[in-house]
Amino acid sequence: MIYPSVSVVIPTFNRAHYLVLALKSVLEQDYSGFIEVLIVDDGSTDETNSVIQQFVQENYLNRKVTYLFQENKGSNIARNLGIHFTQCEWIGFLDSDDLWRKNKLSSQIQFLNNIEFKCDTVYCGWEEIDENGNLMDVNGIPQDKVLVDTNRILIKDHCGPTSTILIRRSSLLSIGQFNPQLKARQDWELSIRILLNTQVQFMKEFLVYYRNHQGVRTYSNSNNEIESYLWILKNHVKNSNIGFGYKLQSWSNFYKRKARVNVHYQKNFIKANLNIFKSILIWPFNLDHYFVLIGIYLSPNLRRNIHLKWNRLIFLNRFQIKSH
């Protein structure tokens, strides 16, 4: 078995309490090969620097921790800074509030060995945890139907969070790293370029814990998310040669996303209704649109409880509620 070296880029901003857990989940990997970890501090004002120094100064076997600092510019800029300093053949990413299972890297490298490294990118499955690390009965797996019909990636992210990616460094550099113009949905936009320009494989195995918490994820908020969706539509979908049906589904999902922002963050139920009805009118065949429509009229706590209880009963990923 071949054990290639792996660089892991962790962007962070004022998350010292989560960052330590994320870092330990990398350092404690059961992978036998060399791992370098690059923590990119995006201008934190908490105790991030001091708590990480003990890891930077420690001498590890087959492990190395490097701490980088930049003024607050956003997680995409932070990741690109980390990528610039990577030295290994393969690159993985971990958001500072997420965790890797102990066998994340060993499983993905074993998978690559089994196919003789005849791909450039491997995604894996993930499970959601709450603020305290408890499983939330919500999971996701990359949907391999997009490998047969790659245009599906322009409708929505079929691949998964950034923390699930393992990519060949040379391939990442060739497609352009993370988009510095976007303040949200950088993972989806990168996956569009990855899927359309590299050889990709998916693993169904759950190897990542994706933390779902009340705090805003790094340099991202609801308005940034809408602006990023619109950027993707204009730059990847509008001028592409995909079929009309794909474009309808892309715009339909855009209005659904706006409806969620209207109700969750802006408390504007009139706009929420208008946008979700636009979404259904454009493409009425998506079950998730109707969950959003129902959710508009429910309290946040009731909506969340229904979301979690439904997903405990429904084990097929395509029938789980993703919008809540």
Query: Is the per-residue pLDDT at 106 higher than 60?
Result: yes
pLDDT-derived band at 320 (thresholds 50, 70, 90) equals low
pTM (global) more than 0.85: yes
> For residue 298, is it left (φ>0), alpha (ψ between -120 and 50) or beta?
beta
Nearest to 280 by CA among 292, 289, 271: 289
pLDDT-derived band at 317 (thresholds 50, 70, 90) equals low
The mean per-residue pLDDT over the stretch 207-212 comes to 95
Q: Between vectors from CA 117 to CA 115 and to CA 122, what angle results, nearest 5°?
A: 90
Mean pLDDT of the chain: 91
Distances (CA, A) of 273 to 197, 242, 247, 265: 38, 29, 22, 14
Query: What dihedral do alpha carbons 183, 184, 189, 190 form, nearest 10°?
Result: 80
Give how far the C-alpha of residue 267 lies from the chain's centroid of Cα atoms, to the nearest Å: 26
The neighbouring-strand residues paired with 95 are none
Residue 83 CB neighbours (<10 A):
19
- Tell me the C-alpha distance between 278 and 258, whole Å: 10
Higher pLDDT, 162 or 216: 162
Q: Among the CATH numbers 3.30.1280.10, 3.90.550.10, 3.50.50.60, 3.20.20.70, which is that of 6-211? A: 3.90.550.10
